[in-house]
Amino acid sequence: MDLLTALVDKGLRRELPSREEALAVLATSDDDLLDVVAAAGRVRRQWFGHRVKLNYLVNLKSGLCPEDCSYCSQRLGSQAGILKYTWLKPEEAAAAASAGVAGGAKRVCLVASGRGPTDRDVDRVSQTIAAIKDQNEDVEVCACLGLLSGGQADRLRAAGADAYNHNLNTSEGTYGSITTTHTYADRVDTVQQAQAAGLSACSGLIAGMGESDEDLVDVVFGLRELDPDSVPVNFLIPFEGTPLAEQWNLTPQRCLRILAMVRFVCPDVEVRLAGGREVHLRTMQPLALHLANSIFLGDYLTSEGQAGQADLDMIADAGFEVEGADTVTLPEHRSAGVCGTHEAGCGSGGCGEGDAGGCHDTAAEPAVPAARTDLVAVRRRGAGTDLPPNA
Domain boundaries, the chain: 2-375
Does the pLDDT of residue 341 top 50, yes or no?
no
Question: Which CATH code of 3.30.360.10, 3.20.20.70, 3.40.50.2300, 2.60.120.10 fits the domain covering 2-375?
Answer: 3.20.20.70
- Given this model, what pLDDT does residue 366 score? 53
Among 101-110, 293-302, 370-379, the range of highest mean pLDDT:
101-110
Catalytic-residue membership of 69: yes
User: How would residue 342 be classed by pLDDT, with cut points 50, 70 and 90?
Assistant: very low
What pLDDT, on a 0 to 100 scale, did the predictor assign at position 276? 94
pLDDT digits (tens, 9 = 90+) for 82-125: 888 899 999 999 999 999 999 999 999 999 999 999 999 999 99
Going from the C-alpha of 290 to that of each of 141, 165, 173, 306, the distances in angstroms are: 26, 24, 31, 19
Q: State how far the Cα of 178 lies from the Cα of 297, in Å rounded to an integer.
A: 28
Active site residue 142: yes
Catalytic residue status for 351 = no
Half-sphere exposure in the Cβ direction for 194 (13 Å, CA): 30
Task: List Cβ neighbours of 308 (8 Å cut-off, separation of 6 or more).
Answer: 103, 297, 298, 390, 391
Annotated catalytic residue 72? yes
pLDDT per residue over 148-198, tens digit each?
998 999 999 999 999 999 999 999 999 999 999 999 999 999 999 999 999
Q: Is 65 assigned to a binding site? A: yes
Give every CB contact of residue 40 below 8 A, 6+ residues apart in sequence.
7, 11, 259, 260, 263, 264, 290, 291
> Residue 359: which pLDDT band, with cuts at 50, 70 and 90?
very low
Exactly one of 124, 187, 263, 272 is catalytic; name it.
272
Catalytic residue (choose from 14, 124, 142, 266): 142
User: Is the torsion defined by CA of 377, 382, 387, 390 positive or negative?
Assistant: positive
Secondary structure of residue 216 in the 3-state scheme: helix
Q: With cut-offs at 50, 70 and 90, classify the pLDDT of residue 79.
A: confident
Rounded mean pLDDT, 346-367: 39
